[in-house]
Amino acid sequence: MDKSTLRGKYCKWSKEDLDKALAMIRSKKISILGASKRYNIPRRTLGGYVKSQVWNKKKNGRPTVLTGEQEVQLVARITRLADVGFPLTVKVLRKCVYTFCEKNRIKQQFSVMKGYAGRKWLKGFLQRHPEIARRKAQHLNEARAQKLNKFIVNDYFRTLKDVMTKLDIAHMPERIYNVDEKGCRLSLHRQPFVLAKTGSRRVHFRGKEHGENVTIVSCGNALGNVIPPMILFKGQRLKPEWADNLPAGSVVEMTAKGSMTSETFVKWLHHFSRYKSAGPCLLIMDGAKCHLDYSIVEAADNVGVSLLCLPSNTTHELQPMDKSVFGPFEAYWDEELMKFWTTYEDRVFNKQRFGYVFSPVWEKSTIPKNIKAGFEACGIFPFNPNRIPEQAFAPSETTTVPRVTLPPFPEPAQHQEAIRNHHEDEPHNDSEETDNSSAWDSDNSHGDNGTRNQQSNVLFSEILSTPARNAQPAKRNHPAINSRAVEVQKSLFVNSNNQSIPCSSKNVHLSASPSAHNQKNPPKKSKAVGSKENPTKLYTSPRRSSVTKKSLHQESWYCFLCKEDRVIDMRGCSLCKRFVHEECVGLTKHDKQVFVCPTCEV
């Protein structure tokens, strides 16, 4: 029988009829067969409810592969990965579910040869959890994901509040402006959806592959008013006809690459001063290189404008024009350009005809409603630092690294006590590292709860774990590690005799060659480090002298006694292999005896 004929055949009874039938069966007023005939519910359905002792849950079909609790945890994991910038694709999700079922020996009918969960399972999973849907992800580079964090955003809003209070414009939206540049191509920004024959594989849209770029300087205030735009064309000589059909008050300039420069921005400031509100004004802009010049600051002071630069890589959330104006601009641009091509038979769109498309697009995208919505969405006016949603900060959480504080450099009198405490109280062995790594594996989860069962741990802590940017071995950065053991290990230097010598971890020189450490006694005769015979070998003698420029870049002349880095004669300890200045220990170049530093003598 065709599946289409079975559609709508099952589960025609209502939940109210089911509750009545189960109540009568539970009170033994009627049999299962009698309730089936009276309420038109299949006998086997009622028998299944009675056998499982589930009296108030309507269900049909066979049980799901994953339990309800496992699917809830899977939904939480999918949502968490999407928030931090690592969303799952459909194919990866099907692969992870299959792997989870294989590891936990869950009965399923997935294809072993393909190694994926079935498409029917995916369809049912999305139907059971409508909070999960397919979306087209937007690209977010690493710098934006890292820089948009609460610390930077809170510092920006504190600065913004101080500036508006100082200028006394907190309640004057007509004096708060934002300027931004928009690169506009003389072609389509997005490929449109077109009509073609069903099943066609070759549907092309003719046009220029790389359209010429034109920069549009747009500016508006929190009240919704817009400043006439400045159009930047690429070239050196300006033709008068390029300014035809542009919005009233527009200005056209020429630059070498068609983009903003510092000199052009100064000209725009004078253009801005003719249309801005009277009195001191605040101009918010991004930190582009063309905006950071001393001549710009001088020009802004002359026209009574205070400049405020946004934090780098945060403009996608903090810049009003980028938030609410440029998105509609691209959509309206493609619409008007398609209309232009249908009007002109030659389909030639160039600088002379730029105003035919730009003017209607500018009027539609820069309406007061859009501009005011941008300032409100960015929390500028009305001033609201909490306007940025918590979800916007989620990608930066994976870049958070706990700070590790190293112990201070111990004094010579405390060396022996430090060694004793290290060996007695804080032993460091391989077993501790194993325990710490297991603790990290159990804690490395985002948004997990305490109701997780053993099977879910395999799926959500191993298969669908949140990846970290620039990930290092987890036990190095997690607070579950014994921090005292790590600090002691970093602050100790083990010599050739397996003696732990405390020293400063910041200034320890680890450039010694393996052969030098394996030698029990240093050579009696010394060679000048950086000489022609051996220009790169280090720690070949207990003394340094006659250095060259090449060796200065290869060695450290730091003395741990005087804590200074001076290029003078040094003497190396025969035990710990560290160097000290000869004048700090009272030696000269004529002393040939084996040298032991004061630390090793203790």
Structural domains of the chain, with CATH: 9-52 (1.10.10.60), 68-128 (no CATH), 142-190+211-392 (3.30.420.10)
With 90 as the cut, is the pLDDT of residue 532 above it?
Answer: no
Of 97-111, 214-228, 419-433, 534-548, the least confident: 534-548
- 93 or 51, which is more confident: 93
Of 97-111, 328-342, 528-542, the least confident: 528-542
Using DSSP's 3-state secondary structure scheme, residue 579 falls into strand
Structure confidence by residue, pLDDT tens digits, 331-349: 999 999 999 998 888 888 9
Q: How confident is the model at residue 268 (pLDDT cuts 50, 70, 90)?
A: very high
- 264 or 7, which is more confident: 264
DSSP 388: S
With 80 as the cut, is the pLDDT of residue 375 above it?
Answer: yes
**Residue 43 belongs to what H/E stretch?**
helix 43-52
**What is d(CA 43, CA 31) in angstroms, rounded to the nearest whole number?**
10
**What is d(CA 290, CA 296) in angstroms, rounded to the nearest whole number?**
9
- 392 or 411, which is more confident: 392
Per-residue confidence (pLDDT) for residue 507, from 0 to 100: 32
- Let me know: does 533 contact 525? Beta carbons within 8 Å: no
What's the CA dihedral at 225, 226, 227, 233 to 10 degrees? 180
Using DSSP's 3-state secondary structure scheme, residue 79 falls into helix
Q: How confident is the model at residue 8 (pLDDT cuts 50, 70, 90)?
A: low
Averaged over 92-99, what is the pLDDT? Answer: 95
With 90 as the cut, is the pLDDT of residue 256 above it?
Answer: yes
Q: How confident is the model at residue 313 (pLDDT cuts 50, 70, 90)?
A: very high
Per-residue confidence (pLDDT) for residue 570, from 0 to 100: 86
DSSP 460: I
Per-residue confidence (pLDDT) for residue 540, from 0 to 100: 35
Averaged over 54-72, what is the pLDDT? Answer: 76
Order across the sheet with 226-234: list the strands.
251-255, 226-234, 213-221, 176-185, 281-285, 305-309
Give the Cα-Cα-Cα angle 424, 430, 436 (nearest 5 degrees): 95
Percent of the chain with pLDDT over 90: 49
Q: Which is it for the CA torsion 359, 360, 363, 365, positive or negative?
A: negative
- Nearest CA to 510 out of 486, 489, 539, 545 is that of 539
Of 141-145, 234-238, 359-363, 480-484, the least confident: 480-484
Structure confidence by residue, pLDDT tens digits, 415-438: 455 545 555 554 444 433 333 333
- Nearest CA to 381 out of 278, 277, 282 is that of 282
With 90 as the cut, is the pLDDT of residue 596 above it?
Answer: no
**Beta-bridge mates of residue 306:** 282
- Nearest CA to 282 out of 168, 173, 376, 177 is that of 177
Q: What SS3 string covers 492-520? A: EEECCCCCEEECCCCCCCCCCCHHHHHCC
- Nearest CA to 439 out of 489, 388, 481, 408 is that of 481
Per-residue confidence (pLDDT) for residue 130, from 0 to 100: 93
Per-residue confidence (pLDDT) for residue 492, from 0 to 100: 31
Of 162-171, 340-349, 370-379, 451-460, the least confident: 451-460
Per-residue confidence (pLDDT) for residue 504, from 0 to 100: 33
| Angle between the N-to-C axes of helices 32-39 and 15-26, in degrees from 0 to 180, rounded to the nearest 10 | 150
With 50 as the cut, is the pLDDT of residue 6 above it?
Answer: no
Per-residue confidence (pLDDT) for residue 522, from 0 to 100: 42
Most confident of 45-49, 201-205, 247-251, 575-579: 247-251
Per-residue confidence (pLDDT) for residue 517, from 0 to 100: 37
With 50 as the cut, is the pLDDT of residue 584 above it?
Answer: yes
Per-residue confidence (pLDDT) for residue 168, from 0 to 100: 95
Structure confidence by residue, pLDDT tens digits, 448-480: 433 334 444 444 445 565 454 444 333 333 333
Per-residue confidence (pLDDT) for residue 389, from 0 to 100: 93
Write out the DSSP string of 412-425.
GGGHHHHHHHHHHH
Question: From the centroid of its chain, how far is CA 174?
Answer: 35
With 80 as the cut, is the pLDDT of residue 537 above it?
Answer: no
Averaged over 266-294, what is the pLDDT? Answer: 95
- 5 or 189, which is more confident: 189
- The per-residue pLDDT of the chain, averaged, comes to 77
Per-residue confidence (pLDDT) for residue 129, from 0 to 100: 94
Per-residue confidence (pLDDT) for residue 403, from 0 to 100: 62
**Residue whose structure tokens are 């015979």:** 533
pTM (2 d.p.): 0.62
Averaged over 340-362, what is the pLDDT? Answer: 92
Q: How confident is the model at residue 597 (pLDDT cuts 50, 70, 90)?
A: confident
- 536 or 67, which is more confident: 67
